[in-house]
């Protein structure tokens, strides 16, 4: 995600929403100010998370969400990195 997405509880909020949707993966800050989210699970749940990510938590100002297929990291649950 691009925009004002660091320092606004984006990762924690994304992890909470992903967990509610039964997804596994992680959210982490990138050095350039963006947040990266890798999520794996049911297609409908992934689509719902993608919609949520476009809005983010109340203090976030998301300007872009890029989505692409990725390998399942084999993790259980959804975590916060970095």
| Topology (CATH) of 2-66 | Alpha-Beta Plaits (3.30.70)
pLDDT at 75 over 90: no
Structure pTM? 0.90
| Cα–Cα distance, 40 to 69 (Å, whole number) | 9
Active-site annotation, residues: 11, 29
For the chain, what are the domain ranges?
Answer: 2-66
For 18, residues 6+ apart whose C-beta sits below 8 A from its C-beta are 24, 25, 27, 37, 39, 49, 78
| Cα–Cα distance, 35 to 19 (Å, whole number) | 17
pLDDT digits (tens, 9 = 90+) for 20-71: 999 999 999 999 999 999 999 999 999 999 999 999 999 999 999 999 888 8
| Cα–Cα distance, 30 to 35 (Å, whole number) | 6
Structure tokens at 31: 């050095």
pLDDT at 73 over 80: no
Work out the angle at residue 55's Cα, subtended by the Cα atoms of residues 78 and 23, and round it to the nearest 5 degrees: 20
């Amino acid at each position: 995600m691009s925009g004002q997405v660091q320092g606004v509880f984006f990762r924690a909020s994304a992890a909470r929403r992903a967990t509610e949707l039964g997804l596994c993966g992680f959210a982490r800050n990138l050095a350039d100010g963006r947040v990266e989210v890798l999520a794996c699970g049911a297609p409908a749940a992934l689509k719902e998370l993608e919609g949520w990510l476009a809005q983010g938590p109340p203090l976030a100002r998301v300007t872009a969400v890029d989505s692409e297929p990725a390998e399942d990291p084999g993790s259980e649950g959804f975590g916060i990195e970095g």
